[in-house]
Structure 1
Amino acid sequence: MITGSIVALVTPMHADGSVDWSALARLMDLHLEAGTAAIGAVGTTGESSTLDAAEHCEVIKFCVKHSGGRIPIVAGTGSNSTREAVYFTKAAAGAGADACLLVTPYYNRPTQRGLYEHFRTIAEAVDIPQILYNVPGRTAVDLANDTVARLAELDNIVGIKDATGDVARGKALIKRCGDVIGIYSGDDATAMELMLAGGNGNISVTANVAPSLMSQLCALALAGEREQAEAINRCLLPLNQALFLEPNPIPVKWALCQRGLIGEGIRLPLTALDEQYQSEVLKALETAGV
């Protein structure tokens, strides 16, 4: 089981929107040096919604090849089409990814029965560890804890990224099936509390710009060192908030660009961070010491 800080990695792009492969390699190397536990490729933060199918698979292949086994690669392969999710999951398994992250089917608004059948179908179709991803604020569908518990009985469903920000709900999930699957936070602002309560790590946006601090925070929280974890969490709190002043990944890509780590590329319908928010993001970076 992967534990600790799992970065939801951005997909760097040139000004014309094409993937910047050199910058992607540099970012991965940065995370290897910073102690990040795993790379999450082509998730929400990686602009999976704006990459075409060929690019989606190519980014996963690139990350697997560049990692060379030095760090696990968790490939985003979810879709609101079950067939497409199976296709991407098979492609990721074929590329050598270590696990897949599967978001709930957005826009369709399936029932709990539909959600169960969607994830069961993918799990039975592809022999690779799979992590469920619940983010109702973006998908307009909520994967109930009851459904998660049923899905946890399937052998290759090994975890869930809970991005609800509801710590009490996360604690209930840990109590119910935390001995069977990994429970990961998908909400930087509440990740520390979930890990202190028995969660297994944080699939993090903030780790893009503060990888060492997030790695340290996760290690301390997983060890139950509340006082030391809280000290780091206080430094990161303004950054956790600033990186969502506009929809992710707009602020985090802008912040990485300001640090000279990637270019300014981002794909429509996403646009560059509005000028009114830029000073706040810069101040948050300064507060965190990054």
Structure 2
Amino acid sequence: MTQLTGVIPPVCTPMTPDRQVDTASLTRLVDHLLDGGVDALFVLGSSSEVAYLTDEQRRVVLDTVVGHVGGQVPVLAGVIDMTTPRVLDHARAALAGGASALVATAPFYTRTHPEEIRTHFRGIAAAVELPLYAYDLPVSVHTKLSAELLLDLAAEGVLAGVKDSSGDDGGLRRVIMGREAPFSVLTGSEVTVDCALWMGADGVVPGLGNVDPHGYVELVAAAGRGDWETARKEQERLIRLFEIVRVGGGRMGGSSAGLGAFKAALHLRGVIACPLTALPQIPLDDDETAAIGRLLAAAGLL
């Protein structure tokens, strides 16, 4: 697989009213993203609710997306779990399922040392011959992947790139400045994409890209041709749209509010049949969903 660039949405996992994977809605969502012009798809990450899915549900998601995409774009598969042996099981399943690449966090739950994290990523890369991308997600994993660690593993050929969802723009810049071998640097921040691209990032993995893939494609295209004023204006429109994740307020967790907002927006746009999130997340109510509708309309999406 060539070096990843552009817009790679982390695909939501639509659910039926009894909270099984809604494969019909999932294929409509994939078509919605491909029609928006995205460059690749990332399944089984945070926006896919991977932490809430059973192993069987993970398999259904991967099989559905890989089968429907049919090679049109790369499909990256999250192999996220607490320890290396569990991740290796997911990685082998992803290889068998036809994934184009793997995405893994550092181990979590137990406390880890940087040398243990290096061993973790080296073990995955040695066991499964697919490009491996590190997912820097300290808010959930409670470990920040340092620029030194990422660049060392890139130089070894262990890592093909990183999705940086750390919010550490200084660390992101150190990785961009320090890379020597081909190494994709992808920002996971929906609201600072123009800044990351200006620094030299290769692309974006935006959860909000489920709702408005075309907007992120336009932003990246404007940056690619050096039209930073257009990129800034599109980024600011997307920032206003991103307010949907705050509609849930303080009565629910950030995951419930954010993922619930993405699904409510997709439901309002007619892409998915049901906006439910996995248990134990708290669903949005009718007033909150109506507020999301107003934000969609203001962004020109309804």
Tell me the TM-score normalised to structure 1 length. Answer: 0.94
What residue is the counterpart of 2:96 in the other structure?
94
Contact 2:154–2:181 under 8 Å retained in 1: no
- The Cα RMSD (Å) is 1.7
Would you say the 8 A contact 1:61–1:92 is kept in 2? Answer: no
Write out aligned runs for 1:118-129 (5 A): 118-129=120-131
Name structure 2 gaps, 5 residues minimum.
Answer: 248-253
> Partners in 1 of 2:33 and 2:54 — Cα distance?
26
Point out the more displaced range, 101-110 or 118-127: 101-110
Q: Give 1:156 deviation, angstroms.
A: 4.7
Counterpart in 2 of 1:216? 218
Please give the TM-score of this superposition, normalised by the length of structure 2. 0.90
Q: Is the 8 A contact 1:196 1:224 kept in 2?
A: no
Letter in 1 for 2:270: G
Using the TM superposition, name which of 279-288 and 84-93 deviates more.
279-288
Q: Deviations over 1:186-225 (max 9, x none)?
A: 1111122111211010011011000111111122223332
Aligned to 1:238: 240
Match of residue 29, structure 1, among 12, 16, 31? 31
Deviates most, 90-99 or 9-18:
90-99
Q: 1:144 to 1:208 in 2, by over 3 A?
A: same
Tell me how far apart the structure 1 counterparts of residues 4 and 128 of structure 2 sit (CA, whole Å): 20
Tell me which residue corresponds to 1:266. Answer: 277
**Could you tell me which residue of structure 2 aligns to residue 188 of structure 1?**
190
- Count of residue pairs the alignment pairs up: 290
- The alpha-carbon deviation at position 279 of structure 1 amounts to 4.8
Matches within 5 A, 1:16-165: 16-165=18-167
Give per-residue Cα distances to partners, 1:115-141, cap 9 Å, x unaligned: 111111111111000110001112211
Whether contact under 8 Å (1:75, 1:99) holds in the other structure is: yes
Measured after TM superposition, the shift of residue 280 of structure 1 is 4.4
- Which residue in the other structure is 2:262 paired with? 252
Q: Hey, what does 2:200 align to over in structure 1?
A: 198
Closer, same or farther: CA 241–163 of 1 in aligned 2, 3 Å: farther
C-alpha distance in 1 between matches for 2:180 and 2:216: 22
Residue 244 of structure 1 and its aligned partner are, at CA, apart by 5.3
Residue 147 (structure 1) shift: 1.0
Answering whether residue 278 of structure 2 is matched by residue 283 of structure 1, we say no
Q: Answer with 122-131 or 138-147: which moved more.
A: 138-147
Counterparts of 1:71 and 1:143 in 2: how far apart (Å)? Answer: 28
On the 8 A contact 2:122/2:158 being kept in 1, the answer is no
Structure 1 unaligned residues grouped into runs of 5+: none
Deviates more, 1:71-80 or 1:174-183: 174-183
Report the equivalent of 1:173.
175
Pairwise CA distance, 1:75: 0.7
Q: Distance in 2 between matches of 1:110 and 1:34?
A: 40
The 10-residue stretch of structure 1 (124-133 or 151-160) with the greater mean CA deviation from structure 2:
151-160
Partner of 1:2: 4
Q: Distance in 2 between matches of 1:194 and 1:221?
A: 10
Query: Are the aligned partners of 1:132 and 1:157 in contact in 2 as well (CA < 8 Å)?
Result: yes
**Mapped contact 1:188–1:206 kept (Cα < 8 A):** yes
